[in-house]
Amino acid sequence: MQIEFKTGWLKFVIGWATVFLFRLIPFRPPNVEPMLATIMPFSKRYGSVASFLFGFLGIALFDAVTSGWGVWTLVTALTYGALGPVAHLYFKNREATAKNFVIFGVVGTVIYDAITGVAMGPLLFHQSLAIALAGQIPFTLMHLTGAVLFSALLSPEIYRWVVQNDAIAIRVPHSKVVA
């Protein structure tokens, strides 16, 4: 007798690779990246823990390969990780539509930038709150532009072609152990 089960790990690798490769594009404007737009579709199907891990590990793995880990890695990884369960709660009773992805993308981006830019500037870099807020405004505007575009265009496609696509799931046969 064989038991088959599906795993979503390959889908997570596709999601991480999408974000990772985009973030490697040279001369990319700061804060224009598809992390949140990729977390949202995964949160709809895989729940709070998996979407937390998607965001957290996506940042931690990228930093490990590119710039190394630091306190900034912990802050950004925890913040993107925390947005995963919040996205899961938001999408739990909502359709995975471009409109809903954009709404959450805007709110999630503002929350992310408030934590990682406005709050962390004074705490980590000894900036005044006023300087942190003023400096964050142009970055948040760029981040919001990217979030709206990625949420409207990329999130629905990732949901349809990756997250919901059972053809990507891998079935692993196991033998029943007889004792």
pLDDT tens digits, one per residue of 38-67? 999 999 999 999 999 999 999 999 999 999
Residue 20's contacts (CB-CB under 8 Å, 6 or more residues apart) are 58, 61, 62, 65
Q: Is 142 a member of any domain?
A: yes
Q: How many domains would you assign to the chain? A: 1
Is residue 29 domain-resident?
no
Tens-place pLDDT, residues 121-162 = 999 989 999 999 999 999 999 999 999 999 999 999 999 999
What's 122's domain CATH number? Answer: 1.10.1760
Per-residue pLDDT tens over the stretch 96-111: 999 999 999 999 999 9
- Within a domain: 4: no
Residue 80 lies in a domain: yes
Instruction: Report how far apart, in Å, the C-alpha atoms of 45 and of each of 23, 49, 53, 124, 152 are.
Output: 24, 11, 14, 35, 18
Residue-range definition of the domain harbouring residue 116: 35-168
Q: Answer whether 41's CB lies under 8 Å from 163's CB.
A: yes
